[in-house]
Amino acid sequence: MTSGDARLRAARTRYDDAVHAERRARVAAAPEIRARRERLRRAARWGVVACVLVIVGCLVAAALFVWSGARDQRRLDDDEQARDTASTTVAALLTADPAHADAYVDRVLSLTAGAQHERVAKARDQLRDAVAAEPEPNTGQVLSAGVTGRSGDDVVVVLVAQASDPSLIGASAADRRITLRVTMTERDDRWLLSRSEVVE
Amino acid sequence: MSRRWTLPIAVCSAVLAVVLCVAAVMWRTPAAAQTRSADELSAQAGGIVATVFSASRPTWKADRARARSLTADPFATSSSKALSDGPPDGVQEVRWTPTDVGVVDAQPESGEVLVVVRATVTPMSGAASSQVKSVQARFVRDDGRWLLSGLDELR
């Protein structure tokens, strides 16, 4: 046997020993590796659960924010439309041309609803005659209007108007400036004046 | 789909959900602030106006001090003398009682309100007299409190 053969055999023996040692080490470490994998899997599972909770929570919160924001915006829009329409309606009610008394009454009827509409409809002829008997056209303008609150779906508006003939809306003719409390009702996407009251 | 992608996808979805939630809050904020101002002015404006313009002879100085604490410029400056003077001759009490408070405009930091009040003046002797007044009052928010910053008597 040559010295080369002896070195080769020794190397093979060392290689086999190393392979066996690696196998033994792998077997010895297997439970720890399995445990670590299991820990990572469990952590990932909890991570996914946490993410799902965050997603659900955020979606619910976002839906609530959108819902309440839409409700707030709708209220602001309703208030603004009711207030603006109350102003233009009261100005229209205080603006009457004796030469067009019938048109005035028709306009008042088209801008009112409920009790106010019925009252004007019942007194249609008297109102037309009163407007026609005026010596000159009457005018009116609203100086300020503000929303006081709601009565069901109706919006209550208080406003101050200046009129050449406040009696057109039931106020004393002596005072050119009047304060009114009016109720606006929404019908078919239109705000109509359903009640008016002079604040004295 | 491999299970190894589950966690990254869940994390990305959670981040997107948080972004969506923040966007919803930002979208809601302006309308909510305006609504809150309108509600606060509706509840407080009448009382503030009434307090600023009401005083009783026995407590006149304290009433005026309280009135000054509820005002802001330019109204505070323009009315400083009136809010510092003593009671007018022969007047026992001036009392403003709000009957209607209508919000004309409400912004997060300012607002305008139409206030209808019954103003009653009680003389030292004789019967009290009342009249209805309508005033347009302007307010500013200062450190969370609404203060009267302007006033026009409309009627």
Q: In chain B, which residue's Cα lies nearest the Cα of A62?
A: B21
**What digits encode the pLDDT tens for the residues A82-92?**
999 999 999 99
**What digits encode the pLDDT tens for the residues B80-106?**
888 888 888 888 999 999 999 999 999
Who among B11, B14, B34 is closest to A76 (CB)?
Answer: B34
Q: Half-sphere exposure (CA, 13 Å, Cβ side) for B88?
A: 11
Residue A145 contacts B, CB cutoff 8 Å: yes
- What is d(CA B8, CA A54) in angstroms, rounded to the nearest whole number? 14
Who among A48, A50, A59 is closest to B6 (CB)?
Answer: A48
- What is d(CA B34, CA A99) in angstroms, rounded to the nearest whole number? 45
Q: Do A147 and B132 touch (CB under 8 A)?
A: no
Q: What is the pTM of this model?
A: 0.81
pLDDT score recorded for residue B154: 92
pLDDT surpasses 80 at B1: no
pLDDT surpasses 80 at B2: no
Smallest CA–CA separation between A21 and chain B, in Å?
32
**What digits encode the pLDDT tens for the residues A63-83?**
999 999 999 999 899 999 999
- What is d(CA B136, CA A93) in angstroms, rounded to the nearest whole number? 23
Residue B113 contacts A, CB cutoff 8 Å: yes
Residue B24 contacts A, CB cutoff 8 Å: yes
- What is d(CA A160, CA A171) in angstroms, rounded to the nearest whole number? 12
Interface list for A 160-179 with B (CB within 8 A): 160, 177-179
Asked, as a colleague might, if the bond just before B98 is cis with ω within 30 of 0, I would say no
| B25 Cβ neighbours under 8 A, 6+ residues apart | A65
Q: Are B155 and A178 in contact (CB under 8 A)?
A: yes
**What digits encode the pLDDT tens for the residues A78-136?**
999 999 999 999 999 999 888 898 899 999 999 999 888 998 899 888 888 888 888 88
* Distances from the Cα of A110 to the Cα of A38, A43, A171, B7, B98, angstroms: 77, 70, 21, 64, 33
- What is d(CA A61, CA B18) in angstroms, rounded to the nearest whole number? 10
